[in-house]
């Protein structure tokens, strides 16, 4: 298993949702959807006015570990599994009849990965590392 890189989490779930996702991780009847907005890259250096991020597609499938970090009520170390767009990138040119132009479509395969994250539920920010 190799590291696919460390990324910033720009937004994520509330503490209650995170705890519920961990609580029901192996329950076959209850699924708690958890979403992390992960930055794939930035338009300008962080802190610059107008800095935006390109989101990395990620779907959490299971949170297997939730641990308080540094003694406060909002910081957590998290481990789990997900599908993430770190696979092969594909391009396809398609003719758009309405606009009468060729459009280049781009998508990246979702791959199964294990992840480790540090996340603060108060600021809704953190870091995440994927292992493929």
What are the residue boundaries of the structural domains of the chain, listed by start? 3-131
Residue 49 has a pLDDT of 81
Strand partners, 106: 91
Q: Among 3, 12, 4, which Cα is nearest to 35's?
A: 12
Residue 102 has a pLDDT of 78
Question: Is this model's pTM higher than 0.85 or not?
Answer: no
Which residue numbers in the chain have pLDDT < 70?
1-3, 90-91, 106-107
């Amino acid at each position: 298993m190799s590291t696919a890189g460390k990324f910033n989490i720009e937004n994520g779930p509330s503490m209650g949702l995170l705890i519920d996702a961990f609580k029901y991780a192996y329950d076959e009847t209850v699924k708690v959807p958890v979403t992390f907005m992960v930055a794939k890259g930035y338009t300008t250096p962080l802190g610059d006015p107008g800095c935006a991020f390109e989101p990395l597609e990620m779907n959490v499938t299971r949170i297997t570990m939730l641990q308080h970090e540094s003694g406060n009520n909002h910081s957590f170390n998290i481990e789990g599994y997900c599908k993430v767009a770190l696979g092969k990138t594909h391009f396809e040119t398609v003719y758009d009849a309405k606009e009468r132009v060729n459009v280049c479509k781009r998508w990246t395969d979702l791959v199964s990965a294990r992840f480790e994250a540090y996340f603060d539920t108060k600021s809704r920010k953190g870091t995440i590392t994927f292992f493929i």
